[in-house]
Chains A and B, each alone.
Chain A
Amino acid sequence: MKSFFNVKSWRGRSLRSRVALATVVVAGLALAVPGASTAATKASKKPLIVWIDTSRIPYEQAYMKANPHANIKWVIYNGNENGTGVLQSKFALWNRIGWPSVAPDVMFDTQNYDAVQLGTAPYNDLLNLKKYIPASVFKKYAGHSMSACTTPSGEVICLRNDTAADVLWVNAGLYKQFFGKAPVPTTWAGIVADGQTLKKSHPGYLVGDIGDEFDDDFIYWGNGCPLDEVVGPNTVEIDPTKPGCTKIDSLLDNSGLEGNAITKTYVFAAGGFPAAKVVMMVGPLWYGTAVFETGKKAPDGVPDGTMAAYPPPLSVLGTPITGALGGGLWLVSSHSSQPAAAAAFAEYMSTSPNIQNVHVDAGLPDYAPDQDSYVAAFGSVFAQPVNTGKAWEKAAGEVWDGWGPTPWSTDAAWASTVVPGVTATPPSTLGKLINSFALTLANDARLAGWTVKSSSKCINSFGGSGC
């Protein structure tokens, strides 16, 4: 203590001046530390700063191999993973204090609803790519996929990386064993009927899953149930009374399969998921490598060449639509000092076969011209590889544009309302739980300052105690 501080100089001073002096010393110390670290040498030319998640590191390697002299600073972050809101919190702070030179020019984002939120008020932080990329490029993306990148006023504020459309995954061997040459179901009712056969004759085998934190994406999105339908600027329709919702609820609730042939085990459960027992299951196309052909042995996985993808079942309304679970976006900051270079980089990443044919899990490029070569490169990983590729491409074009993008997570609302109910003992039914799910979505929308349109009484009543 004495050696550190000259005690004598403190004597004879008034209390106030001592406190003041100490405050100045402490404040000086606090300021000196970050000051030292910012005195970095100035680079001759500012690099393009690109944020990617760990899964996209093979993209970085592929890019640097193709462009070894590119002046790019790659930064790894969590891809704005569900619920973490890294970009939202950083952008909110930077909008208050000014954008630092370390802010990214281009970002990879795993959340489909992020672009419209970050690209519209109060954020307004994404570049309108219409000025930098020709319209002919936008037209080559599959189906309605670019709707997640388009603001209500028509600005294009991101580029799709890959699609995670839902398909029907079928274990070809098991299906042949149990159902012979009967055609694979093309409707939800067909899947339920096969489930009832299995429940009776081969208990323990599965035709689906309920109770995952994202099952809303194929149960409701894939059946045309308007729980997240943007119908105007900052206006969303949330209506659980529509047939797209009630028909699938009663089909599944009355099937007698929930808890047996439609399992309640989470596909990424800590105790393992019985992937080898799945005869068929609706799920995103990345389930192929992430849930089934994972390299794990039975019962947690199956050998290569076992699973085949079939087109997603028709919705309960009879329409050829499907949901999606994931898929990434390329975002460009409107605060970038080199917008043209940043936009060109994002276009390259999203469209170039050099990048898109790098296999990062199974996620089909949303840029249609890259799809065939991507599928072909999978070789014999899946059974019936040609049909599997066709089913993926068909599903990519059928993703229903009636859901989102909205600045809240439908999956999180589903997880907090429906999952605890359907997995409880005794379980509740989808028909009952959909009201609290819809009400949570409506309240999320109101919290975000959106207007909610609905014909359901319990959604319109404030607080929703009447449900």
Chain B
Amino acid sequence: MTNALVTVASGEHASARRGRRARWRQDRPPTGTSRSAGYFFVALYVAMLACLGVAPTVYAISLALRTPSGLGVSNFVDSYHLPQFIPAFEHVLLFEAIWLVSQSVLVVVLALMVHNMARRVSSTFRFIFYLPGAMAGAASVVIWLFMFTPTTSPFAFILHALHYTLLANTVTPGNLPVLFAIMAFWTGAGGWIVVMHGALNNVPTELIEAAEIDGSNVLQTALRIKLPLIRKWVVYMLVLSFAAGTQLFVEPQILGIATGGEVPPQWSPNQLAYYLAFQLDRFNEAAAISVDLLVFGLLVAVLIVWRGKLFEVQ
């Protein structure tokens, strides 16, 4: 995600031609000093990845496979048979369906619209879209808690129109996937609009000019020229968002604590794993669920990458 932002942002303010020149400069072999600096930074990253990414994963897999009677899969079987297991995955899939569809459509539409604006107006709008993303995680949940409470919300008129008078009316089990999708959309969409805008800047101006000369209107240019050329970025957004979405934790956890338990503490698979490990002292089953999530995320990523032809060279 960070890498993507940096790559695209570097081309963002430059015209396509200047962008190409910059890339040509980057392709030249770097001098010795900058090369060793590069290795230094990569080494830092590799060390962090090993300590904070690979080692915990290996530990989780080894915990998940460890059973009282030696190595086995009983932790996977036992955790699957918990009454909360299937509902937790259902909750998260429903949330993902609502969130990913609305995010994909709205982010692409907004990015295309913003890209057609004059540069100064466009950058103002991108900044405004990005602002809610500055309050991610726990901070955003607290703000949304106010927004969802009919007595304190600035959008109380909407909640009253739905006959909601108490927070308990908003936070019903049926509403939860929608509420979490709204939170996730506002924290994530602004960043992705910036990314998509950068991707659109890399669409060669010659191509758009040629289309306009051939009589293509704004809508046709957007849908037939620009959209196919940023498809890979949409796929990229889907892969990362899906993986992040399956790990939903902070939002239901804090909303649950703030409402005295209206969101069950095992609502999402990640919460179920946390509950098993830190409430019931059953780390092995918790590890099995986190391995399930890893495999699930990887499978869906492979599927999207394969179907979306992310690594195909044009």
Could you tell me which A residues sit within 8 Å of B by CB distance? 1-2, 5, 7, 10-11, 15, 18-19, 21-23, 26-27, 30, 82-85, 88-89, 91-93, 95-96, 122-123, 211, 213-214, 264-266, 269-271, 407, 409, 411-416, 419-420, 423-425, 440, 443, 446-449, 462-464
Contact = CB atoms under 8 A, between A and B. Distances in A.
A7 B47 contact: no
A423 B82 contact: no
A414 B169 CA distance: 15
A401 B266 CA distance: 28
A83 B277 contact: no
20 contacts: A18-B40, A27-B47, A88-B279, A92-B277, A122-B282, A211-B168, A266-B168, A269-B151, A412-B256, A412-B264, A416-B261, A423-B169, A424-B169, A443-B84, A447-B84, A447-B276, A447-B280, A448-B280, A449-B280, A462-B83
Contacts of B43: 18-19, 21-23, 26
A83 B40 CA distance: 44
B265 A420 contact: no
A85 B279 contact: yes
A11 B262 contact: no
Given A266-B168, A448-B280, 19 more contacts: A1-B37, A19-B39, A19-B42, A23-B43, A26-B48, A27-B51, A82-B260, A92-B283, A122-B281, A269-B166, A270-B151, A270-B167, A413-B264, A414-B261, A420-B168, A423-B166, A424-B169, A440-B264, A447-B266
A10 B33 CA distance: 9
Nearest to B175: A420
A311 B251 CA distance: 42
Interface string B27-53: 000001100110110111011101100
B36 A425 contact: no
A443 B44 CA distance: 46
A22 to B, nearest CB: 3
B151 A446 contact: no
Contact of A425 (B51, B169, B283): B169
Given A30-B51, A92-B277, A264-B166, A23 B261 contact: no
A22 B47 contact: yes
B268 interface: no
Contacts of A26: 43-44, 47-48
B116 interface: no
A88 B256 CA distance: 18
Nearest to A422: B168
Interface in B175-201: none
A407 B149 CA distance: 31
Contacts of A213: 259-262
B15 interface: no
A270 B261 contact: no
Contacts of B33: 2, 7
A93 B277 CA distance: 9
Contacts of B46: 19, 22-23
A266 B281 contact: no
B171 interface: yes
Contacts of A449: 280
A411 B260 contact: yes
B192 to A, nearest CB: 32
B303 interface: no
Contacts of B40: 5, 10, 18, 22
A443 B267 CA distance: 13
B47 A23 contact: yes
A84 B262 CA distance: 14
Contacts of A18: 36, 39-40, 43
Contacts of B83: 443, 446-447, 462-464
A21 B276 CA distance: 39
Given A83-B260, A446-B83, A22 B39 contact: yes
B67 to A, nearest CB: 15
Given A122-B282, A265-B166, A447-B83, A83 B44 contact: no
A270 B149 CA distance: 9
B201 to A, nearest CB: 30
B20 interface: no
A134 B257 CA distance: 39
A293 to B, nearest CB: 23
A30 B47 CA distance: 11
Given A7-B36, A19-B39, A92-B281, A413 B166 contact: no
A114 to B, nearest CB: 11
B289 interface: no
A83 B261 contact: yes
B29 to A, nearest CB: 15
B263 A416 contact: yes
A84 B168 contact: no
Given A95-B281, A407-B280, A266 B166 contact: yes
Nearest to A213: B260
Nearest to A19: B43
Contacts of B280: 88, 122, 407, 447-449
Contact of B262 (A21, A264, A416): A416
B172 interface: yes
A159 B149 CA distance: 39
A394 to B, nearest CB: 29
B119 interface: no
B163 interface: yes
Interface in B201-231: none
A122 B264 CA distance: 23
Contacts of A92: 277-278, 281, 283
A463 B81 CA distance: 10
A357 B36 CA distance: 70
Contacts of A1: 37
Nearest to A91: B281
Most B CB within 10 A of own CB, among A10, A27, A447: A447
